[in-house]
Structure 1
Amino acid sequence: MPQAIWNGEVIAEASDDEVEIVENNVYFPIDKVNEEYLQESTHTTVCPWKGTANYYHLAVDGKVNENAAWFYRHPSDAAQQIKDHVAFWKGVEVRS
């Protein structure tokens, strides 16, 4: 069962059939993410084929990992499978 872990806490956990893997990144359904650890970020980036990525900071036990989670609010037609999904990086351990 894939998990995303940071600062000793499970940030997201989903079954294999619930996650999407795109470009070696595991995208968790938003309803499988513990939203208490997410803080809105104004940071964005653009992927030529997925669209504009929006970010969350992770906040766990007083520590903040800025822009450590991303999602596509309005993914392109080619990336619709990751709509309402979140991926992680910047020290977040993703276990399969």
Structure 2
Amino acid sequence: MQAILGDRVIATAEKDDLIRIEGNWYFPPASIDWSSLEESPTPYTCPWKGVCQYYSLSDGPSDIAWSYPEPYDGAAERVGKDFAGYVAFDPRVTVGE
């Protein structure tokens, strides 16, 4: 699977390595091209996942990705897998095979 914005590939991973949460594919941290992203100051806290970290494209749109670096207790059990640091993308980013 890949996460692509325009002609830029931001993440690549095997589908079996991704986690599906609330309709979004979360990519493992090692699959992310971190040179393309920078942390965003946008605040958000999910009531059951925890404090969210947003990311913007370093030379493009803001808040195109997010992760939960330290999910709340019980969140991994709810999902069925530890998703700490995994990254999901908003609809501006095409995620597919």
Q: State the percentage of identical aligned residues.
A: 38
Q: Tell me if 1:31 matches 2:27.
A: no
Cα RMSD (Å): 1.3
In the alignment, the residues of structure 2 paired with residue 82 and residue 10 of structure 1 have an alpha-carbon distance, to the nearest angstrom, of 21
Aligned position for 2:86: 85
Q: Shift of the alpha carbon at 1:78?
A: 2.8
Q: Please list every run of at least 4 consecutive aligned residues from structure 1 whose deviation after the TM superposition is greater than 3 angstroms.
A: none
Amino acid at match of 2:33: N
In the alignment, the residues of structure 2 paired with residue 18 and residue 79 of structure 1 have an alpha-carbon distance, to the nearest angstrom, of 18
In the alignment, the residues of structure 1 paired with residue 49 and residue 70 of structure 2 have an alpha-carbon distance, to the nearest angstrom, of 9
Aligned position for 1:68: 64
Which structure has greater strand proportion?
Answer: 1
* TM-score, normalised relative to structure 2: 0.87
Query: Mean alpha-carbon deviation: is it higher for 75-84 or for 30-39?
Result: 75-84
Q: How does 1:1-20 map to 2 (within 5 A)?
A: 2-20=1-19
Q: Secondary structure at the match of 1:94?
A: strand
Amino acid at match of 2:16: D
Amino acid at match of 2:61: N
Which runs of 5 or more residues in structure 1 are unaligned? Answer: none
* TM-score, normalised relative to structure 1: 0.87
